[in-house]
Amino acid sequence: MNLGSPTPIVRIFDESLAKAFYVEYLGFRVEWEHRFEPESPLYMQVVRDRCVLHLSEHHGDASPGAAMRIPVDDVDAFHAELTAKRYKYARPGVEKMPWGTRDMSVTDPFGNRLTFTDDAG
């Protein structure tokens, strides 16, 4: 028996803000979207490389204010990519952590914190 990687469910409140942040800013792509009816809450999967996230407008799926750590091969390259986009609501920096990783944290429009972490030292 083997366990697979978890897929975090991230609470969102506005589809356009979520897509502006996750797709346009962070560079994820929407893999699929689901609604039970045309005006019902959105549930979608976004993917970038091997990172898969589920974004949900459904009330009971997740709590806003979650935190997650996402491994990245080159945090400096990712930082440069994000900085070049000049996203109006975030200017993350890279920080050397006491446990040896280099981390870049960014908070989405819904209060969820994504920390991109590079353990290359």
Return the CATH superfamily for domain 9-118. 2,3-Dihydroxybiphenyl 1,2-Dioxygenase, domain 1 (3.10.180.10)
Q: Where are the domains of the chain?
A: 9-118
30 pLDDT higher than 90: yes
Share of the chain above pLDDT 90, in %: 86
Single pTM value for the model: 0.93
Place of tokens 């990245």: 72
7 pLDDT higher than 90: yes
